[in-house]
Structures are given as C-alpha cells and as structure tokens.
Amino acid sequence: MTSSITFEPVAVIHSGYKEKFGIPRQPGLARSMTATIELLPPYNTLDAVRGLEQCSHIWLLFIFSACVGKGWSPLVRPPRLGGNEKLGVLASRSPFRPNPIGLSPVKLERIRSEGSRILLDVEGADLLDQTPIIDIKPYLPYADIISEAEFGLASSIETLDLPVNFSPAAELQLAEHSSRLNQPLKQQISEVLLCDPRPAYHKNKPETREYGIRLHDLNIRWNVSESSVQVTVIVLDS
C-alpha cells in the first residue's frame, strides 16, 4: 500500500467568492454566480477537454486550500445541525477532513481558448477564488443520479424564505457596480444571502447584528430580521 500520494492541480478556478464566509454550503444554490476554470500547464490543451463540450454538467474535484494544514477532528459540528450537535467527519461535508478534498457538480456553459489559455465557464460553483482543482469529470445522469438516495439528517435544501430588500443607497451602488462588473449583482447577492451564511449559533437570536461578505471586489453589508433580509450598503472592498 502506498503511504502517501501527491496530486498536481490540473486547473484553478476564478470565482467571485473572495473569502470562505458567504460561500453557499452546497453547489447550485447561487446559480447566477458564474466562475471560470483555467487549465494549468501541461493540461492547457484543447485535446484534454475534447468531447467535454457535450456535457451540460461536470464534476469538479478540488482541494479545500484554505483548510490545508489546519488539522481535522473525528467529530465536527455541522451548521445544518445548529452548530451544537456533533457528527462524524466522514458523515459530513466539513472542509476540515483527513484529506481536504471537495466534490461539486457545476453547469458547464462553454469551453473557450484565449491564446494558450483554455477556459471553462461554469455556473453554480461553491468554490473560493483560486481554489486548485485536481480533476474534472463528466457528469453522467444515468449513473450519477440516485433517485432513491436518502440522508435523514439533511433531506432537503435549507434557505431563508424571506424577501431581500436593498436600501436606497444600496440600489444606487448596485446599479453602478452591476454595470462596471457586467454581472447580475442583484440576483447574485440575493441568492447568496438567502443561503443564510450567518453562523449557526446566530440564527435563532434576535437580530441587530450587521454582517459583511466579499463578492467580486465588493464588500456587501446586510442584516436579517423576522420579515426580510436587508442589504444596507455595497462598496468597493478596501
């Protein structure tokens, strides 16, 4: 048995998520958040992705690079369980794993080349900017969909059932930055915030706290009440 195995990244992702806080905990929840996968040498050849254009979706195997070297524990506290109950790390999606490997299906929009750069545009990725990707595989509906699969602790997606409102100042800032970035910022911000990135131990407490997330080159400030999610300000990240 081999005692250790070394992987070289085949690609890196360029995404709008500039920090861990705010990234949806599962792929596909913020579908308007697009990202670009750039193949790294010597894999940056169209031959390496020949036929992949026939796929509507692909699998990304990646490294939780922000967690490398930070250790792991046999028991973790998943946010889904309120941050208090413990679960075995191998029964969880925690990024703090014995081997910090992640697996996400994403929608493949297109494959393009720019000089020596081979780029894959994808939708719905839940990866931090500059995450190293160690493999890309086609998503096979006939094999990868398991309709009878069950997991009692997480049987459905949990999102906030609230409207997302923008203050007058945030609306003006939204228009400016949406045009500058050429991104559907209002939809992106709404989808990300409805995934409720707040720490689990904050979610059942009266809300007066303001939070901030970094998307693209922006700092977005918001708070949550019983009736809505309120975006207060959108400014360039300092």
Question: Does residue 204 have a pLDDT over 80?
Answer: no
**Can you give the residue ranges of every domain in the chain?**
11-144, 164-236
SS3 69: coil
pLDDT at 1: 63
Architecture of domain 11-144: Beta Barrel (2.40)
Summarize the confidence of residues 157-165 as an average pLDDT: 90
Tell me what pLDDT residue 146 has: 87
pTM of the model: 0.90
Write down the pLDDT at residue 206. 59
With cut-offs at 50, 70 and 90, classify the pLDDT of residue 41. Answer: very high
Mean pLDDT of the chain: 91
Please tell me the predicted confidence (pLDDT) of residue 176: 94
Q: Per residue in 44-77, pLDDT tens?
A: 999 999 999 999 999 999 999 988 888 889 999 8
User: According to the model, what pLDDT value does residue 63 have?
Assistant: 95
**DSSP string computed for 158-195:** ----S-EEE-HHHHHHHHHHHHHHTS-HHHHHHHHHHT
Which option is the CATH number for 164-236: 3.30.429, 2.60.40, 3.30.2310, 3.10.450?
3.30.2310
**Average pLDDT estimate for 184-202:** 91
Sheet with 211-215, edge to edge strand ranges: 164-166, 229-236, 218-224, 211-215
Q: Is the pLDDT of residue 23 over 90?
A: yes
